[in-house]
Structure 1
Amino acid sequence: MSDYPAPETLHHTSRAVVETSRPQRYVKQMVSHMGRKIPIEQIPGGHRLTFNRDNVFRGYADLLVDDAQDDAARLLLLAYGTDAQNLTAVERALGNHLERFGEREGLKVNFS
């Protein structure tokens, strides 16, 4: 993965905070599902997905568990894109998958 730019060099970024009582479960499910198609690495506090399909690098997504606030855990999604269009593609992939996995819990993903 060293052939890709560092996430902090990508200027198109967004984040979403998803309230859930089971953030670890959703991270595990996302990693398991998406890891079949794209590279995933463990990072401090979670996992990084590298969006590189068909040899086209689009960006990254970090899936982090934030359990430091008010004893309630949350899922923090950070998206990084090489441009606005690729950022939107990363956001859409994350949001659609997570909302589908968390449908019973009524999970909603809104990037800003």
Structure 2
Amino acid sequence: MSGRLTTHVLDVSQGKPAAGMRVQLWRLRLAEKGARTMLREAFTNEDGRLGEPLLSGDEMAAGIYELMFDAAGYFRGTAGEGFLEWIPVRFVIGDPQAHYHVPLLVAPGGYSTYRGS
């Protein structure tokens, strides 16, 4: 099985997928005084998902990663002004052969995340 990293975003305030949200994936190297590298930037589709995995196959590597979700940009287009700006979700990929799915449930005033399947 080839590992992969995926995400999707649900707008719980409207009860639907969060289409058009900007998502960035960063690789962190905390031992190097917080050095980080942006690996991908994409926008969610009508189903709140990305068209392809953020990482897959040989791109998958053990390490610390951060997904950044542009909540402010999304809510400016749907709900007007919101409370949240960028939502960071920092996590560890320990097994590059595994599937890591990181969903985001978001509303103008709060969010939740978990490791999905």
- Give the alignment's TM-score, normalised by structure 1: 0.32
- Of Structure 1 and Structure 2, the greater strand share is in 2
- Of Structure 1 and Structure 2, the greater helix share is in 1
- Give the alignment's TM-score, normalised by structure 2: 0.31
